[in-house]
Amino acid sequence: MAVVDPQAVRAVLEDLRAEGEALDALVAPLGARGWEADTPAEGWTVAHQVAHLAWTDGRALLAVLDPDRFTGELGGDLAELAASVDTGAAAGAAEPYPELLARWREGRTRLLDALAAAPPDARFPWYGPPMSTASVATGRLMETWAHGEDVADTFRVRREPTARLRHVVRIAVRARDYAFAVHGMAPPAEPFRVELVAPDGSSWTYGPPDAAQRVTGPALDFCLLAVRRRHRDDTAVRARGADADRWLSVAQAFAGPPGKPRAAANGGAA
């Protein structure tokens, strides 16, 4: 078993804290009209977005503190998970927004504290394979960033990409086979090469350098694609190889059903 570096886990937790604070700064000044504004996710307001994060943070906290209970409450299929997600978001969105904001903040803090107290090499149940302490944190960071993009898009705010996107990239690359499977496709047998330009201009690379199947482009665009917040035609991500090209149409960094795809800016659909 690989040795887990406690310092690396702490670094991920600090990035998760920063991502939550970045979205908090965006929603905290909003009044009622802002919380009730429709986001690009069909049927979801800003309140739904924050309520969903509060709900999933709560599920993650339960998995860390009481894994047996979490496992006992797991649903049987993706449709049941999707229904639970929508129910949790709708229930939270119905709360007065100051109470929802306070509940989200409290839940974020409790989850961070629980993860910080957990053994670095611990593993917790989730909607899919069990996740390590660091993986739970990176998963929550990915979702916080993704739903933060929905909120930012609602108000036409451009958020500067940060090095925290590396966590989103790593999840998406590791979830390649899951993305194919959840779309009813057999995962490719051969590895891919992924070469992305980080926000600071450096390179983030994954996979063997001589792989025939390749994906290249800006890390931000790849992340937006992997959390299904952009149509692939609206990004600068490019594929070489038939399997890599198919991946760009199904890439998914999160567990559960893929949801309704975003339309291309020219009116096309995924």
Angle at 133 between CA 182 and CA 3, to 5 degrees: 110
Per-residue pLDDT of the chain (270 residues; tens, 9 = 90+): 455 678 889 999 999 999 999 999 999 999 999 999 999 999 999 999 999 999 999 999 999 999 999 998 876 555 566 678 888 899 999 999 999 999 999 999 999 999 999 998 999 998 878 899 999 999 999 999 999 999 999 999 999 999 999 999 999 999 999 999 989 999 999 999 999 999 999 999 999 999 999 999 999 999 999 999 999 999 999 999 999 999 999 999 987 777 777 888 864 433
Tell me the two tokens of residue 200. Answer: 């600071």
> Which CA distances in Å does 1 have to 9, 15, 67, 269?
16, 25, 21, 44
Q: What is the CATH number of the domain that holds 241?
A: 3.30.1050
Does this model's pTM top 0.85? My answer is: yes
> Which pLDDT belongs to residue 74?
78
Same domain for 226 and 169, yes or no, is: yes
Range of the domain at 190: 165-250
> Which pLDDT belongs to residue 77?
58
Same domain for 136 and 210, yes or no, is: no
Same domain for 169 and 106, yes or no, is: no
> Which pLDDT belongs to residue 16?
98
Same domain for 135 and 171, yes or no, is: no
Same domain for 202 and 140, yes or no, is: no
Q: What is the dihedral of CA 97, 261, 42, 95, to 10 degrees?
A: -20
Residue 81: Cβ within 10 Å count:
16
> Which pLDDT belongs to residue 147?
96
Nearest CA to 145 out of 169, 175, 128 is that of: 169
3-state secondary structure of 248: helix
Same domain for 62 and 121, yes or no, is: yes
Residue 102 lies in a domain: yes
Same domain for 179 and 229, yes or no, is: yes
Strand order in the sheet with 238-240: 203-206, 192-197, 213-218, 238-240
Residue 256 lies in a domain: no
Residue 212 lies in a domain: yes
Q: Which of 132, 154, 176 is the last residue of a domain?
A: 154
What distance in Å separates the CA atoms of residue 104 and residue 47, rounded to the nearest whole number? Answer: 11
Q: Are 168 and 227 in contact (CB under 8 A)?
A: yes
Same domain for 86 and 174, yes or no, is: no
Same domain for 37 and 123, yes or no, is: yes
Residue 263 lies in a domain: no
Question: For the stretch 220-247, what's the b/e string if a residue is b when 16 or more beta carbons lie within 10 angstroms of its beta carbon?
Answer: bbbbbbbbbbbbbebbebebebebbebb
Counted domains in the chain:
2
> Which CA distances in Å does 56 have to 16, 46, 53, 173, 250?
14, 16, 5, 22, 23
> Which pLDDT belongs to residue 79?
59
